[in-house]
Amino acid sequence: MGLLDGKVAVISGAARGQGRSHAVRLAEEGADIIAFDICADIDTVPYGLGTREDLDETVVLVEKLGRRIIASQTDVRNFDAVTKVVDDGAAELGGLDIVVANAGITSYYRSEELTPHHWQTVIDVNLTGVWNVARAAVPHLIDRGAGAMVLVSSSSAHVGLQNLNHYSAAKAGVVGLMQSMAVELGPHMIRVNTVHPTTVKTGMALNPIPFS
C-alpha cells in the first residue's frame, strides 16, 4: 500500500528535471498522474527546454510503476489550455487531489540590461503560470473535499542573487500567492505550501550562468 493510493496529481513542467522526479515519486506512492510541459524552447531562455521525447520518457517511467498517466504538450502560460488539461485529466482519472505547480524558466541579465520582453516572459511562466495551474485545479480540490497544493518557489525568493531580478520577483510572488490561497482554501481542507529549492542539477542549472 502506498501513501497516495487512489489519489490523482497534476504536475506542470513534467518532461524532465524536478517535474519528472515529482511525477515518478508520487507514482511510487500510488498516485495517478496528469503531466504536461511546453515541450518546446522559449526565445528568451538561454538553454534548451524539455522535449516531447522527454515527456514520453516520463510517461514510460510512471507506467512502469503500474500507475496511469495522461501527458500533454501544453504551455503553462495558456490558462484555457491548462484548464482543459486539468479538467480532462480529472474526468478521466476520477478526480484530483494533488497539485504540483512546478514549471519554471529563467534567463540572466543585469538590472540595466533586462528587457521588458525578458522580464515578462519569466513572470508569465513562473508566476502567472503557477496561478493558472492553481486556479484550474481549485474547483476540483473543493469538489474532492480536501487536497494538497505545492507551488514551487525558490531560495531566490528570500536571498538576492545577481542577474535574476525577474526570477526572484516571480518566485517571491509565488510565496504571496501561496499565503493568500492557504488562508482561503484552508476551510475546504486544502493545504497550500511553497517549496524553495536551491541550485538543482537540471537543464536550468547545467549551463553557463553569468553571475559576474
Q: Is residue 1 part of a domain?
A: no
Q: Is residue 180 part of a domain?
A: yes
Per-residue pLDDT for 135 more than 80? Answer: yes
Q: Is residue 91 part of a domain?
A: yes
Q: Is residue 41 part of a domain?
A: yes
> pTM of the full predicted structure?
0.92
Tell me if 105 sits within 8 A of 121, measured CB to CB. Answer: yes
Q: Is residue 205 part of a domain?
A: no
- Our separate counts of H helices and E strands in the chain read 6, 6
Q: Which residues are catalytic?
A: 167
Per-residue pLDDT for 101 more than 70? Answer: yes
Residue 107's domain spans which residues? 8-195
The residues facing 176 across adjacent strands are: none
**Residues 120-144: b if buried by 16+ CB within 10 A, e if exposed:** ebbbbbbbbbbbbbbebbbebbeeb
- Residue-wise pLDDT for 8-47, tens only, equals 999 999 999 999 999 999 999 999 999 999 999 999 999 9
Q: Is residue 211 part of a domain?
A: no
Identify the CATH number of the domain in which residue 139 sits. Answer: 3.40.50.720
Query: How many folded domains does the chain comprise?
Result: 1
Q: Is residue 114 part of a domain?
A: yes
Q: Is residue 206 part of a domain?
A: no
